[in-house]
Structure 1
Amino acid sequence: MPVTMTTRVALALAAAGLSVVAAPSATAHEGAGDVATNTRGEQVAERGAGVRMSHVANLQYDRSGEAQNGSDIEFVRIDGRDYALAGTLDLGMQIIDITRPTAPRRVAVYDCKVSQGDIQVWKKKNRVLASYTADSTLGEEGAASRCGRDLKLGLDDAGTIIVDLTTPSRPQSVSFLSVPRGSHNMTVHPSGNFLYNSNSDLATSTAPAVTIYDISRPSLPKKVQDYRIPYVPTSLGSESHDITFNASGTRAFVAALSQTLILDTRNPRAPKQIGQIIDPSINVVHQSDPVTLRRKDGSTRSLLVITDERAGAAASVECPGGGLHVYDITGSRVSEPVKIGAWFIDAVRPQEGTTCTSHVLRMYPRQKLMTIAWYSQGVRVIDIRGLATATGSPETVAMGSGIGMREVGHYVFPDSDTWSFKTNRISRNGSFYGYGNDLVRGFDVYRFRGLTNRTVPPLVPQDLGSDHRSTPSGLLAPAAAVVPAVWVALLLHRRGRRRPS
């Protein structure tokens, strides 16, 4: 971008009370994981602001008046009833009946006081199983909670717990996968027979690896190997933070802090690297999710959407923080992805110390929609149908609308600090109930009213989490040198343009 443009917009930012600043180190990913950054009162806010969305219900995990520490969320349908599985940083897995979305009801808590609480859910024969992560050592509380007692875990244990949810009101401990460096996230292969672990350690780790386990016998998991991945020097880190498989399980997309790796996983015991993305404009590669869309002529296009959890969810001084970076990976481009641009929410403003950046997303390719949590900027719904034909370049920046994506709904509370936002069911007109898991507020239910200008195929109730979390090369600059110049383009783009209604 020309220096003259940067100078002009920097002056404009200064006049508006904003500043272009370097992203701080991503320390929030170490140890106990991300930390709630808003101050919670005795009661959460009851009113917020939204576009095409309304708030339906809030459910508290802990009535002490403290932050609720909600993290990941997944869904499962058992015996005709729908359940949300909500992870927490230290309050165990919350099992919530959402058969009536307007009246969510907690039916059980799997007592496992560990930090992170990332969840995957899958079926094995007649059993419903879930995995639950401990990123750091269990400590006294974790070892003394039910999962620690059942599995005879010690204070220094870290890793992944497998839980039987066949009877949701009576979750049962099954087994423990010991991972000394912790399970920040884990991903179950679509076959249900393998689990890939992401430890998300930062720059102190110089021998990064994805640890692979055979979980074909859930009660007797076995380590397969530590699959070595590239080390990126002078970066925040090279370890995997999160992994997403495609629906068939033949590809894995590894979001590894300073890089994204594309793996051939046709043999999930022995993956092979076929692509790498190192993008200096991304501060923290948080999630890398593929989506394949069909064009009007019947052909298909595959894309990869990479979320930048700027500064590792450290407190922000401005919004919109890190955005979504989009790559074309159609056909042979899977080994040399082509960037078509970056997308940000339409919210340029001071943030006053709370967290503002993209976080957990989910794709719904059949409906051409995406949901995403944006911490203090709440929950967002994105129309992605334009990605099938969008053009752009590495320098293309969009805010609210552009590069084939268009925000069509959002809802924000004064105390929002939302970690994840997903849905298990979308109606034919695109309306749905969405579920947010919030560090401050706990469990929130929202209603998205849908789109009046198009009809989308319905999403049937999900039995399992559908994502199965289910290259240009070059060195990434040190974090302190990564200046989010996107604010320049964002502010220019904002001038002379009306906000969406």
Structure 2
Amino acid sequence: MTERTRRRTPTAVCAALTVTVLLGGSAAAAPPTDPYPADDPPTSASTPADAAGTPPDGVPLPDEIRHSRNVRHVANMPPRPPFDAPLAFGTDIAFTGQHAIVGNYEGFTIYDISRPSAPRLVSQVHCPGSQNDVSVSGNLLFLSTDTSRSDDSCASAALPATEPNAWEGIKIFDIGDKAAPRYVASVETDCGSHTHTLVPDRRRDSVLLYVSSYGPDAGYPDCRPPHDRISIVRVPLRNPSKAAVVAEPVLFPLGGNPGRPGEFPDYVVPTSGCHDITVYPERDLAAAACMGDGLLLDISDRLRPRVIDQVRDDEHFSFWHSATFNQAATKVVFVDELGGGMAPACTPEIGPEHGASAVYDIVGRGSHRRLVKRAYFKIDRPQDPTENCVAHNGSLIPVPGRDILVQAYYQGGVVIWDFTDSRRPREIGYFERGPLPPDQIPAGGSWSAYYYNGHIYSSDLRKGLDVLAVDDPRTAPARWIRLPEFNAQTQPSH
């Protein structure tokens, strides 16, 4: 989501701070509200050649669930107070062992997913500060704060962006005891931390975080233009309280995309930082989505990422939001978050090439590699004009020899699509709810949808954690792949 509240600056009170932990050992998964029997749900309208029946006319009723025949909704964990407030949006997900950690504008929640059909709430940490995107490494949890706060504690208050003594950046927790996470450190970063990406350090005693932030203003004390760089934080694994910014590499020495003003959907956001970076450490590659630009980076020197190629698509892309490599690192899927996640971008008037994903082939070798656009992919199931709907966070389903992505679409739901043929991507499954009731704030749906160890986990802005199962021969080989840990922006080599 690109909507944000700004911000910020100096203090970095890094201490063992107290957090509110709500234990939920007895909480159980609510049964999915699903009006369709598992053996005969409606099928996707977007790929009639693949469909096993006729898709329903129109859109689902408010909160009604629909899904393709090959997808089952196996569990939902609704948010608990205070994570059920109108603006307490669910955000990103990280996985470690048999636990899923789900971010929220109010903090984060740890779930035991050893039984995917019956997740159990282990703990909930109240620590406000958008977006609270999460990643995990061993017993350490990292949390992005991208609003100006009175200090770096979990009891902080929001401050105006112009306040010179505000704080925002990275918070670090010890989650060795999942039932009682402990806040151990913080690192302030320029322009905050909208998202961050965990990168294995060459020094095995530490990890690196590539911090993406944007939106500078001459009136913001620690976020003045030009903001053409990222922050790199090194976290010593044995002493995370010593975490610090160790580099601020400039990615746009000549400036980024100047943008194009206009009305929705005909505009391009100027580049003033990056929104999200996905790394493929074993290939020494990264793909950066930076507002008006898409980058392919060489990260063989972790502290000095080098731009290999830079692409733009001012005709169709308004906001370069995120990226995903295929397993062979021969393709990148870039995402356009048209409307910042708050607009109805999945209507016939917007069309199939705005607010979509774009498949790029990586051609050439070494420093001569280039990104070549092959096709767009976007859901085309009917959506209500009140529904915020646009391409958002996803991950590969690790099928050897095929390129299959599961992806969130806010109120457009969750989609599974195949881009093995990069010129002809196609949908092979989906899950969605109908629009939110008219008396609710019209912003909801799936923020993040990731595949982990046999199931899809979706973080819904309003509905909590959904668990989906996929029963399809095209994705079946992925069931044999098990990971001890997964951060979607740090792609593993399966």
TM value normalised by structure 1: 0.71
SS in 2 for 1:312: helix
Q: 1:146 to 1:169 in 2, by over 3 A?
A: farther
> Following TM superposition, by how much is the alpha carbon of 1:62 offset from its aligned partner in structure 2, in angstroms?
2.5
Partner of 1:376: 411
Residue in structure 2 matching 1:201, options 215, 233, 243: 215
Q: 1:27 to 1:226 in 2, by over 3 A?
A: same
Q: 1:317 to 1:266 in 2, by over 3 A?
A: closer
Q: 1:318 to 1:378 in 2, by over 3 A?
A: closer
Residue in structure 1 matching 2:304, options 257, 270, 274: 270
Partner of 1:89: 105
Q: 1:229 to 1:29 in 2, by over 3 A?
A: farther
Partner of 2:378: 344
Q: Which has the higher contact order (CA 8 A, sep 6+)?
A: 1
Partner of 1:72: 92
Q: 1:305 to 1:233 in 2, by over 3 A?
A: closer
Partner of 2:147: 136
Q: Is the contact between residue 203 and residue 237 of structure 1 (CA under 8 Å) also seen in structure 2?
A: no
- Counterpart of 1:370, as a letter, is L
Partner of 1:228: 250
Paired with 1:179 and 1:247, the residues of 2 have a C-alpha distance of 23
> Following TM superposition, by how much is the alpha carbon of 1:176 offset from its aligned partner in structure 2, in angstroms?
0.5
Partner of 1:184: 194
TM value normalised by structure 2: 0.72
RMSD, matched Cα: 2.9
Paired with 1:266 and 1:182, the residues of 2 have a C-alpha distance of 26
Q: Is the contact between residue 317 and residue 351 of structure 1 (CA under 8 Å) also seen in structure 2?
A: no
> Following TM superposition, by how much is the alpha carbon of 1:466 offset from its aligned partner in structure 2, in angstroms?
4.9
> Following TM superposition, by how much is the alpha carbon of 1:172 offset from its aligned partner in structure 2, in angstroms?
1.4
Residue in structure 2 matching 1:306, options 334, 353, 374: 334
SS in 2 for 1:209: coil
Which structure: greater helix fraction? 1
SS in 1 for 2:365: helix
Partner of 1:483: none
SS in 1 for 2:339: helix
Q: Is the contact between residue 29 and residue 312 of structure 1 (CA under 8 Å) also seen in structure 2?
A: no
SS in 2 for 1:465: strand
User: What are structure 1's unaligned runs of at least 5 residues?
Assistant: 1-25, 33-42, 149-153, 294-300, 393-402, 427-432, 471-501
Partner of 2:359: 326
Partner of 2:178: 168
Q: Is the contact between residue 195 and residue 276 of structure 2 (CA under 8 Å) also seen in structure 1?
A: yes
> Following TM superposition, by how much is the alpha carbon of 1:305 offset from its aligned partner in structure 2, in angstroms?
0.5
Q: 1:95 to 1:186 in 2, by over 3 A?
A: same
**Is 1:412–2:432 an aligned residue pair?**
yes
Paired with 1:460 and 1:365, the residues of 2 have a C-alpha distance of 7
> Following TM superposition, by how much is the alpha carbon of 1:47 offset from its aligned partner in structure 2, in angstroms?
4.0
> Following TM superposition, by how much is the alpha carbon of 1:233 offset from its aligned partner in structure 2, in angstroms?
4.5
- Counterpart of 2:406, as a letter, is T
Partner of 1:243: 277
Partner of 1:157: 167
Q: 1:327 to 1:30 in 2, by over 3 A?
A: farther
Q: Is the contact between residue 315 and residue 354 of structure 1 (CA under 8 Å) also seen in structure 2?
A: yes
**Is 1:99–2:127 an aligned residue pair?**
no
Q: 1:31 to 1:265 in 2, by over 3 A?
A: same
Residue in structure 2 matching 1:357, options 354, 375, 390: 390
SS in 2 for 1:292: coil
Paired with 1:131 and 1:197, the residues of 2 have a C-alpha distance of 11
Paired with 1:53 and 1:172, the residues of 2 have a C-alpha distance of 37
SS in 1 for 2:95: strand
SS in 2 for 1:307: strand
- Counterpart of 1:61, as a letter, is P
Q: Is the contact between residue 150 and residue 156 of structure 2 (CA under 8 Å) also seen in structure 1?
A: no
Paired with 1:121 and 1:328, the residues of 2 have a C-alpha distance of 30
Q: 1:233 to 1:377 in 2, by over 3 A?
A: closer
1:391-402 to 2 correspondence within 5 Å? 392=423
Partner of 1:145: 155
> Following TM superposition, by how much is the alpha carbon of 1:336 offset from its aligned partner in structure 2, in angstroms?
2.1
Paired with 1:454 and 1:97, the residues of 2 have a C-alpha distance of 24
> Following TM superposition, by how much is the alpha carbon of 1:198 offset from its aligned partner in structure 2, in angstroms?
0.2
Paired with 1:455 and 1:448, the residues of 2 have a C-alpha distance of 8
Paired with 1:147 and 1:459, the residues of 2 have a C-alpha distance of 46
Paired with 1:454 and 1:196, the residues of 2 have a C-alpha distance of 31
> Following TM superposition, by how much is the alpha carbon of 1:30 offset from its aligned partner in structure 2, in angstroms?
5.2
Partner of 1:12: none
1:412-431 per-residue CA deviation (whole Å, 9 max, x = no partner) reads 112351100112113xxxxx
> Following TM superposition, by how much is the alpha carbon of 1:225 offset from its aligned partner in structure 2, in angstroms?
2.0
Q: 1:291 to 1:158 in 2, by over 3 A?
A: same
Percent identity, please: 24
Paired with 1:190 and 1:219, the residues of 2 have a C-alpha distance of 18
Partner of 2:16: none
Partner of 1:35: none
SS in 2 for 1:458: helix
SS in 1 for 2:340: helix
SS in 1 for 2:230: strand
